[in-house]
Amino acid sequence: MDRRKFLAASTTLAAAPLAAPSIASAQTSFNWKMTNAYGPGSPFYVEGPGSPTDFCKKVAEMSDGRLKIQHFAAGELIPAMEGFDAVRSGAVEMNAANAYFWAGKIPAAQYFTTVPFGMNFQGMNAWLYHGGGMELWDELYEPLGLKALPMGNTGVQMTGWFREPIESVADFKDLKMRIPGLAGKVYAALGVDVKLLPGGEIFPALERGVIDAAEFVGPFQDRRLGLQNAAKYYYTTGWHEPSNVTELLMNKAAWESLPADLQAIVKSAAMACNLESHTWSEANNAAALKDLVENEGVIVNTLPDDVVAELKTVTEKVLAEFAAKDPAAQKVHDAFMAFKAEHASWAAVSEKPLYSL
Instruction: Report the binding-site residues for Na(+).
Output: 216
Distance CA 112, CA 153 (A): 11
Type of residue at 95:
N
Distance CA 114, CA 241 (A): 6
Contact between 246 and 98 under an 8 Å Cβ cutoff? The reply is yes
Which residues line the annotated binding site? 157, 178, 215-216, 241
Which residues line the annotated binding site for substrate? 157, 178, 215, 241
First to last CA, the chain: 73
Type of residue at 121:
F
Distance CA 51, CA 221 (A): 13
CA distances from 221 to 61, 132, 163, 208, 288 (A): 28, 31, 19, 20, 9
Contacting residues for 210 by C-beta, under 8 A, at least 6 apart: 176, 204
